[in-house]
Amino acid sequence: MTSNSDTLVIGLVSVSDRASGGVYQDLGVPALQDWLARALTTPYRLETRLIADEQAQIEATLTELVDTARCHLVLTTGGTGPARRDVTPEATIAVGTREMPGFGEQMRQISLHFVPTAILSRQTAVLREIADHAALILNLPGQPKAIAETLGGLKDADGATLVGGIFAAVPYCVDLIGGPYMETDPAVCKAFRPKSALRPQP
């Protein structure tokens, strides 16, 4: 399966009743934008959305981002807890063609280093595959600090990794589903690929 676009397109979706209703400023999408700006060295284009905790709206937004906006990667933030209004995982699974459970497992392991309530998170990940395009959709936490920890992990004062982040596996996953070759700044997050999948530096 191959994508029609050589440009990496990333969708960012903040799911929040109050932020989408103007009660307070959304912090999720800005946190994602900031982290990606530091981590990615590959040129990319963003598609951002701020929506309410409504399953039908989340499903429609994720579908539009993959099928119409042609995103290769979609990151959601918010709506993954046990509260009744938290339906982001259900919407994500509904639009996915295959689940990627390892991402959710690792996200909870990362968060457990900081808070015992990480076991309450229902974050998940799926692939959405259509005829000529595919995307990885990842549910992330809602707090900016937790977003950065989940994506990039934590390093000690000497730069040694204490907790590995999930984003290290994202570029190779996007390779495997036919998306653009993504490169990262190793100081922020070192992407991992098998030697056979590495491309020479330009």
Q: Lowest mean pLDDT of 80-89, 118-127, 150-159, 192-201, name the range.
A: 150-159
Could you state, in order of their start, the residue ranges of all structural domains in the chain? Answer: 8-197
CATH topology of domain 8-197: Molybdenum Cofactor Biosythetic Enzyme; Chain A (3.40.980)
pLDDT tens for each residue of 119-148: 999 999 999 999 999 999 999 998 999 999
d(CA 109, CA 55): 26
pLDDT tens for each residue of 39-94: 999 999 999 999 999 999 999 999 999 999 999 999 999 999 999 999 999 999 99
SS3 for 6-63 is CCEEEEEEEECHHHHCCCCCCCHHHHHHHHHHHHECCCEEEEEEEECCCHHHHHHHHH
State the pTM of this model: 0.93
> Which of 130, 147, 138, 123 minimizes the C-alpha distance to 169?
138
Q: What is the pLDDT of residue 202?
A: 62
Torsion sign over Cα 61, 93, 114, 170: negative
**Helix, strand, or coil (residue 175):** helix
d(CA 3, CA 180): 8
Residue 16 sits at φ, ψ, to 5 deg, of -160, 125
Q: What single letter denotes the amino acid at residue 63?
A: T
